[in-house]
Amino acid sequence: MTAHNPCFASISLIAGGGRGYNAQMIGYRYWPKVGFDAELFDGETASAPHLVTCRTVQDIVALDTAWGSANGSQRLMEFDLRADSPGWQKLLDYLHEKEFI
């Protein structure tokens, strides 16, 4: 796995689409499924009291994926390449679910 090269700490990308952005882009919904994460914007979950404790996109995914799909938006996201990062487990779970591995 080249990603475990000690020269790399993370992979960053813009997860496109979502509220207020190009409706044809779905990156804001797809990339969290494979382990990418980002901090939430200030006030982003203000209309959803059940998400008051969420600080990251992955927090929302864990509590209410449907809300995230309907209300999420474009942002810079990152995949943490440390061997023990939660992103790796999320990626492996996704690959197993899709029967890629």
Read off the pLDDT of residues 20-53 as tens digits, 9 standing for 90 and up: 999 999 999 999 999 999 999 999 999 999 999 9
Considering only the C-alpha atoms of the chain, give the largest distance between any 2 of them, rounded to a whole number of Å. Answer: 41
Confidence category of residue 8, pLDDT binned at 50, 70, 90:
confident
Q: What is the model's pLDDT at position 1?
A: 54
Measured at the CA of 83, the angle between CA 87 and CA 96, to 5 degrees, comes to: 50
Q: What is the mean pLDDT of the chain?
A: 94
For residue 26, which of 81, 80, 86, 68 has the smallest C-alpha distance? 68
Strand partners, 79: 11
Q: What is the model's pLDDT at position 7?
A: 81
Cα–Cα distance between 2 and 50 in angstroms, integer? 39
